[in-house]
Amino acid sequence: MGKGTGKNRAKAEKPRYAREWGQFFTPVRVAVFVWEMLQQMIPVADFPRFRVIDPAAGEGVFLSSGIKLGLLAPQQITGIEIDPRLRPPAELKLRWFQADGLLDGGPAALSRDSFDLVVGNPPFGRGGKERLAADLTSGDWQSAGWLLAEGYDKKDLARLLRLPVEALFLRRFLALCRPGGYGAIILPDGFLGNDRLQREREEFSSRARLLAVIGLPPGSFKSAGTPARTSLVFFRRREENPDEESEGEKETLFASTEFRGVKGLPEFFGTVLQTAGAYNFFGEKKVLPGVTWVKTSELPRRRWHPNYWDPALRAALDGIIFPLRPLGEYIEEIAYGPILPGKKPEPRENGVLVFGQKDLFFTGLNPRPALRVAAGGEFDPERSRVRRGDLLFSRSGEGSLLRFRSGVYLETEPANVSCFVDRIRLGGVDPVFLWLFLMGKFGRAQILRLKSGVGTPNLNFSEIKSLRIPLVPEEVQKMAVGVYLREILPLHRRWAGTERRSPEYALLEKKMAGLIKAIEAVLITGRPLNVPGSRC
């Protein structure tokens, strides 16, 4: 096939060079929403005197939107874009520079603390910091003057260069912003929830106040070529001589990506603006599903992910009358399957069963897994071998983790797991009861609250161990497990894993849902288990 010409060729090339620079271009509706939110935070009369910069301007959508909305004039803005193939719209040409937004110097002559507002969607992922790394490695400290001015030595800089590019750009946004100035940046959810980046979040919070974190609904960047989950982060840089107002008297607005009852960007953004506007203009909080105000004093040592602060997800376990314990107290061993990049398992007709994500169903494990491998081979390591009673848990993916795929191995034949499935060995709790709990609303809410990741939502071992489970009497556990083993498992073995979805399996799912709801009722009321149509 040919490369195409004109618009078709440009369209074909964009995904390629977008990957090269880590670029994913912002939809216009998202950029307009940023300005709508900023008008809730900043008096409109202040915008005409603002100096505004986008250090990773891409196609210029943020700056262009500000001008078209009548908030800015062309002479107020500065656009920096590393990619020479991108051309600004006419209204931005006056102050548009081809340069690396992470570097000082160049035609834009950027200086620290000189902009009233820093706004944009910087690159994220693996690329985008090569020039900064090359300059520092070669000893060109001048280009990284903004980092040196913050007091970092060479050892610190080596650590900083290991950070993802979005973390470096967040620091750059803050360095360009004057004390008392504002910032709005799109960040991947991995930055907001990753425990390894907690130090970055803490350092940022010591120099700026988090005003709002608005999760963008899944698919917001689908037209830009990425399924990545992202959030809008609004901040204000602290003054050099801050006032006496305590941090505890200030609040941060969070809007969850698991927004309930609202479909589509326009309705989502409208509801968030309604909440922000009601609080700012009328002095009363209006909290809607998925949107909440959090005291800024609660944020230290916590993640910024909006799901983490979602009122419904935070309060999901409040109705349980039984004591709660971390799952980690019952985990004897946890492991994942072999990671062998570039290698594919060679199927063996009579080999060892391997359970992958596709083999985990709502009603249990696939009784007929498609894959069998050589016993004792590299795809059957002893460390991840499965035995009867092990919980298999899919820890990543929209179609796996977020569909809550998991199950308990109830056979005796040797088996193993793939690299995206965790094998969890338990003690002190019935594994089937635990699994049934996690498949219900109480387990699902915790997973939604704790998940993180950029393109692929996931849970790590620490997050899995932090899931809380109810300390339910043994006789209650046995009764619920008995219903599953007696009335659901035999039908599951018959109907699960068939090539075509059958009416019989749909009825089986209905029975499973009924058992889970009955368990949830026990957890809330303490009454005996009552599964309609069962012999419990």
CATH number, residue 494? 3.90.220.20
Residue 291: its H or E element:
strand 291-295
388 and 268, same structural domain?
no
261 in a domain, yes or no?
yes
295 and 237, same structural domain?
yes
13 in a domain, yes or no?
no
If we measure between CA atoms, which residue out of 221, 491, 232, 216 comes closest to residue 362? 491
18 in a domain, yes or no?
no
Residue 12 has pLDDT above 50, yes or no: no
498 in a domain, yes or no?
yes
531 in a domain, yes or no?
no
Output 393 or 127, whichever has higher pLDDT. Answer: 393
Of 255, 283, 314, which residue is a domain's last?
314
401 and 306, same structural domain?
no
Q: Beta 415-417 vs 251-255: how paired, if at all?
A: unpaired
141 and 82, same structural domain?
yes
Of 269, 296, 314, which residue is a domain's last?
314
342 and 291, same structural domain?
no
* Angle at alpha carbon of residue 489, lines to 487 and 492, rounded to 5°: 110
335 in a domain, yes or no?
yes
> 169 near 185, Cβ under 8 Å?
yes
Residue 219 has pLDDT above 70, yes or no: no
294 and 443, same structural domain?
no
If we measure between CA atoms, which residue out of 195, 155, 227, 292 comes closest to residue 454? 227
Residue 354: its H or E element:
strand 352-355
330 and 214, same structural domain?
no
89 and 202, same structural domain?
yes
Write the CB contacts of 424 (distance below 8 Å, at least 6 apart in sequence).
331, 333, 334, 390, 391, 392, 393, 464
93 and 238, same structural domain?
yes
Structural domain that includes position 49: 23-314
Q: What pLDDT band is residue 317 in, cutting at 50, 70 and 90?
A: very high
Structure pTM?
Answer: 0.83
Tell me the CA end-to-end span of the chain in Å, nearest whole number.
Answer: 64
289 and 408, same structural domain?
no
Q: What DSSP assignment string belongs to 139-188? A: T-GGGGHHHHTTT--HHHHHHHHTS-HHHHHHHHHHHHEEEEEEEEEEEE
Of 257, 279, 314, which residue is a domain's last?
314
534 in a domain, yes or no?
no
pLDDT in tens, 21-75: 445 678 899 999 999 999 999 999 999 999 999 999 998 999 999 999 999 999 9
163 and 32, same structural domain?
yes
CATH number, residue 188? 3.40.50.150
Residue 425 has φ and ψ, to the nearest 5°, of -100, 130
158 and 48, same structural domain?
yes
Q: Specify the number of domains making up the chain.
A: 2
Residue 145 has pLDDT above 90, yes or no: no
> For residue 18, is it left (φ>0), alpha (ψ between -120 and 50) or beta?
alpha
Q: How far apart are CA 67 and CA 50, in angstroms?
A: 12
Q: How far apart are CA 305 and CA 184, in angstroms?
A: 16
DSSP alpha helix (H) spans, 177-232 = 189-193, 198-207
Residue 270 has pLDDT above 90, yes or no: no
Burial category of 288 from C-beta neighbours within 10 Å (exposed 0-12, middle 13-18, buried 19 and up): middle
3 in a domain, yes or no?
no
Residue 77 has pLDDT above 90, yes or no: yes
pLDDT in tens, 117-140: 999 999 887 677 888 888 777 776
